[in-house]
Each structure stands twice: as C-alpha cells, then as structure tokens.
A and B are shown apart, each in its own frame.
Chain A
Amino acid sequence: MQRFLKITAGFIGGYVVMLSFHVLLTNLFEKKDVVMTAGFTGYLLWAVLMLLAFLSKSGWKIWGIYLLLAAVFSLPYLLKM
C-alpha cells in the first residue's frame, strides 16, 4: 500500500505539481517562453518530484504535500478565472 501510494504520488501527484508550477510561472514570465522552457524543466522537475516521493517517509504525507502544493500554485490561475 505504501509503495503504491508513493508511486502514484510521484507519477500523478508529481505531474500535477509540475504542471501547476509552470502555470504559476506564466504570471511572472511570458507564457510562450514558459511553454517552451517547460520542454525540459517540466520533465526534470517531474522526475525529481518522483524521486522525492520515494524518499518520503509516508505515502499519505507526500500525497498531502503534493496536493497542497498544487493547490497553492494554481491559486492565481483559479482567481483569475
């Protein structure tokens, strides 16, 4: 169960965090530049987040952290809608 949680947290949670982080960056930089940069930073960040999920002590905790991060990152986007 722990292993399953960690894998899903890393793969799915990591993806959501990575995506919301880049969407957050569009508030600071031009969106076309962010989209292009994400071509490599996106995959790097995703892979690192996947590893961090494996390094965490508890699968529940890392899911919680990732969901929280994703929510915080997407706040500006959601507010603008």
Chain B
Amino acid sequence: MNNRNYNIYFNTHTISGIIICALLYVIFFAGSFAFFRNEIAAWQNNASYKTYKENHQSFDKLLDSLKGEANLHGRDINFYMHREGTSAYVGYTASNDTILNKENLSKITPEQKAEKKKGRRRRGGDDDSKNFTYNFVNQKVGDYAKNYDMGEFLFRLHFLAQLNQVPISVGIAPFGYLVAGITAFIFLFALITGLLLHWDKLVSNFFVFRPFSKWKTVWTDMHTALGVIGFPFQFIFAVTGTFLIVNSVLALPFSKLLYDGDQQKMYQDIGVSAKEDYAYSYKSLNKDVKIAPFLDMAKTKWPESEFLRIVVKNYADSNMHVIMELEPHFNSSFAGSGILTVKVADNKIVEEKSPLTGASYGDYVRSIIYRLHYGDYGGYPLKMVYFILGVMGCLVIISGILIWLVARDKNNVIPRKRKFNFWAANVFTAICLTMLPVTAITFIAIKVSPKVDQDFIYRVYFYAWLLLSLYYIIRRSIRRTNRETLLVGSILAFIVPIANGLVTHNWLWKTFVDGQTDLFIVDFLWLMIGIIGLLAFYKTKKFFQKIQ
C-alpha cells in the first residue's frame, strides 16, 4: 500500500469515526439490549409469554369487548403481532360506511375529542379511529404510553427515536431516524476505511497485544484486535441498519423512477404487503362474525409459522375479508413470507402464498437482512453471542476515542487544540460510559416503582443520564469516568436481579425451573454483566496504577 492511500484511509477513518462515536456508542449499547426487548418487556410486567398457549378465540373475545365502546361495523381492524404472538398493536379505522361513520362521529363527546387531541401520537385527526396495545397473556388493553416498557424504550433508543421530538424535518424521515441513518452510513464508511487501513498488517498484527507498555498501545491493540474480530458482525449491522432505518433514501427514488411514484405498488411487487383494496359493499354479512376459524385455518395449513399482521377488512360487511401475513418459524425455514386472504361470506381463499415453501429471491434478501439484524434465528445462545459482539462494538468505539486523544496529546500540538481535544474526549466518554449505570438504575427503578409508564422511564433514564454525564464532564478525569462507571455499573447490575426477586418473588432460579426462560434471561444477563464487570475492574486495578 502506498503512503498516500494509507494517509487517506487513516484520515477518513479518524474523521468519520470521531464524528459518529458518541451516537454510535448509544446505538450499539441500546441495540445490544434491544435483542432482548421482548424478554425485558415480559420481565418488567412479570408475565412470562413462554408458558402461554396460543388461542385464537381470544381475538374474537377482544373484538366482542370492543363492541361495547364502538360500533365496529364497516371498520378495518389491524393487528400487528409481536412478542411471539402474545401481544399486539391494535388499531381500528373509521367506518368505511359513510352513513354509519356520520352516526359514530355524532356520538363523540367533546371530552373524548379533547382526550384524543392530547394523545402523544397525533394520527387520524378528527375521525373516531383508535390505536391501543393488547396483551394476550394477561388480556389487558392499554394505551401505548401507559403500557410503555423498558424493552420498547431501549429498542427505540437504538435508532434514536426519542430525537424525533426535535422539530426539524428534512422530508425523507423524522429527525431522529435521519440522524441514526446517517450515523449508520458513516459507520459503514468508517468500517471500510478501517479494514483497508489494517489490510497489510491484518494477519501479522492479529496476535499482537501489548497491554503493559504504554497507554497508546493499550488502546490501539484493543481497537484493532476487537475491531478485526468483530468486523463481520459490525459490517452486517452497518449495512442492515442503514437499510432498516432510512431505506426511503432508496425506496423513494426507486418508486418514482420505476413505479411511477406509486410506493404502495412497489411494496406489493416486492412482496412486502398483501393486496388490501377490498371495497365496502353496504350489505350486511348474513352470518356470525368470527375470525378465529380463519386464523386456525392458516395455522393448520402452515403450523411452523407465525402471524406478523392480521387485517380485518370491512368488519361485518358482506365483502368482509380477513388478511393474514405470516412468517416462517426460523426452525423450519430461514426465509419466506406468507399471505392468506379469505372472504368471510363464502369462506373462499382469495390470495394464498405459503410462508414455508417457494420463497422468492426478494424473500431471501429481506429475511437475511431482518434476521441477521434482529438475531432471531437461533434462540437464546445466539442472542447471547450477539449481545457480546455488540458490547465489543462499544469497546471498539471507546478505545477509538481514546486513541484519538492520546495520539494528539503531544507537545508539538498547540495548547488550544490540545485543550479542545481533551474537552471533546472527556465529554464523549462521560456520555458513553455513564450509559451502563444509568440503564441499570432504570431497570431497578421500574421494579421498585409501583406505577411505570412512558413518562416515568423517560424521566428516570434521561435525568440520571444528564446528571451523571454532567458530573463526569465537570470532574475532567477520563480515568475516573472509566473506572467509576464500571464499578458502579457492575454493582448496580447485581442489584437488578435482586430487586426483581425481592419485589416479585420470582427469583432467577425459580423462573429457570419453571421454564419462564424469558424472565430468567434478563436476570441472568444482568448477573453476568455484574460478574464480568467486577472481574474487569479488579483485574485492571493494578495495571492502571502501574501504567500511570
């Protein structure tokens, strides 16, 4: 490699890295926990979904109970299934029947209207549509903010959804998503330049680890060794992450150029969504309105699959349709997407595509992208490996910041710049490293507090984060930030399973024996973090004193 190219790789790698480091750390840290978001949600509510037996009758029960509050006739009802089919985002639209719709609207009291306006998610405007969450395990209806959980919080934090509150709009995506997308793309760029930078010494330097000489070599060796080992993993996440968060960057122009601007048509063509335009007929259905038989039908056809989305079109109308989108269970098929649409009046199958066989090229690509990103194709052992690799990514980022600082901390650098460099590294490390104790504190808080909703989690997490970061920024000692957050974080990590045991009496050995693996895994994860954290703290103690 000639010197010019080397310098270009070096500079572009450094600059792109230092721009995104803090955001990328947040993404990696929160993302690592987000692998377990369903488990965290179950853990928080102390309601295991692993022991739940699927029963399609509960869909009809839910719909019956909805009739008490609204006339469902002619509405479209959506179920977005998650947590292995034990929980759903449910939404119904305004009635497709214009006459009924007027009737429904006239019934809305001004209070209800005001209530709806106040809601956080301002969708639907002035009609009487409604969105809520439903938990099939404990059969609880709730609104989004009240049922908000830590799994959801960390999942959304990992693509910076909370930043969407910033009222800057660029057109293609909300602010937070855009920032996350740009970060992911710059990360991809930094990965490529980083690999090329080390290409010549990839093999020879792989086994070099000189932790006991100088600070700079400690950080460089850590950065390269972990960076090279984790490269394939991080590369996957850079690519799939960019795709998942800002694919409108590609989807918009493609639909403009290739599909005459019709995005809906494009998504149907690439097989993401089923055909849905079934017209309302203004004739009532002459039979009992039940959807459970159709769900059963899908499950008997393809037992090794799970519902992704269920749409009930034109409820109780003679042109009522039940549209089901399914995905295969990872044990039976890696890729695939299935559709089953049934016309309720005559039980006729209108659209059918098996999730288990005949996966198209597009299905394969999409499954690879999604499965590789979510790590949902191998059970808990795989998720653990993903978690460890994710945390390794965090270490690469931190050591990268420290190399950047140490390399510029020389006498020939002018004092003003040195001051700025230290200031930047100090702020970055304070923000990044406090995430561990803050996350642990919030996990404890949601167990101890009797009432937990979105506001509560936001307040605990963001205020604790702000306070701790400010403290370490003012403290101006990166070494202290490093040591203390590790120690405090590990101790708090131990307290998480203890707090859970004390509050719920579901100690981790009990959940393990009872087969509630989803509850067990969260306690176990924190216990491991505590043990490894403390080991790391004591093992490095001497070394830190010697090298100073």
Q: Could you tell me which A residues sit within 8 Å of B by CB distance?
A: 19, 22-23, 26, 31-33, 35-40, 42-44, 46-48, 50-51, 54-55, 77
Q: Are A23 and B258 in contact (CB under 8 A)?
A: yes
Q: Are B258 and A26 in contact (CB under 8 A)?
A: yes
> How far, in angstroms, from A12 to B196 measured CA to CA in the complex?
23
Of all chain B residues, the one with the shortest Cβ separation from A20 is B257
Of all chain B residues, the one with the shortest Cβ separation from A56 is B8
> How far, in angstroms, from A48 to B242 measured CA to CA in the complex?
15
Query: Which chain B positions have C-beta within 8 A of A36?
Result: 270, 361-362, 365-366
Stretch in B50-58, B151-159, B217-225, B247-255 touching the partner:
B247-255
Partner of A54, one of B12, B250, B251, B362: B12
Stretch in B167-175, B185-193, B523-531 touching the partner:
B185-193
> How far, in angstroms, from A22 to B5 measured CA to CA in the complex?
28
**Number of A-B pairs whose CB atoms are under 8 Å?**
67
Question: Shortest beta-carbon distance, A24 to chain B, in Å?
Answer: 11
Q: Are A39 and B12 in contact (CB under 8 A)?
A: no
Q: Are A38 and B254 in contact (CB under 8 A)?
A: yes
Q: Are A39 and B365 in contact (CB under 8 A)?
A: yes
Q: Check: B537 CB closer than 8 A to any chain A CB.
A: no
Question: Shortest beta-carbon distance, B266 to chain A, in Å?
Answer: 7
> How far, in angstroms, from A43 to B236 measured CA to CA in the complex?
12
Assess A55 versus B365: contact at CB under 8 Å? Given A43-B242, A47-B188, A48-B192.
Answer: no
Query: Which chain B positions have C-beta within 8 A of A33?
Result: 361-362
A-facing mask of B216-251, CB < 8 A → 1, else 0? Answer: 000000000000000000000001101100010011
Q: Are A37 and B365 in contact (CB under 8 A)?
A: yes
Q: Check: B369 CB closer than 8 A to any chain A CB.
A: yes
Query: In this complex, which of A22, A43, A47, A55 has the most chain B Cβ atoms within 10 angstroms of its Cβ?
Result: A43
Partner of B247, one of A22, A39, A47: A39
A-facing mask of B291-317, CB < 8 A → 1, else 0? Answer: 000000000000000000000000000
Question: Shortest beta-carbon distance, A59 to chain B, in Å?
Answer: 13
Of all chain B residues, the one with the shortest Cβ separation from A44 is B239
Q: Are A35 and B192 in contact (CB under 8 A)?
A: no
Q: Are B192 and A40 in contact (CB under 8 A)?
A: no
Question: Shortest beta-carbon distance, B339 to chain A, in Å?
Answer: 15
> How far, in angstroms, from A43 to B12 measured CA to CA in the complex?
18
Of all chain B residues, the one with the shortest Cβ separation from A33 is B361
A19-B253, A35-B258, A37-B365 are known contacts; what are 15 more A-B pairs with Cβ within 8 Å? A22-B254, A23-B257, A23-B258, A33-B361, A35-B266, A35-B269, A35-B270, A36-B270, A39-B250, A39-B365, A40-B243, A43-B239, A47-B192, A51-B189, A55-B8
Q: Are B188 and A43 in contact (CB under 8 A)?
A: yes
Query: Which chain B positions have C-beta within 8 A of A26?
Result: 258
Of all chain A residues, the one with the shortest Cβ separation from B240 is A40
> How far, in angstroms, from A43 to B369 measured CA to CA in the complex?
13
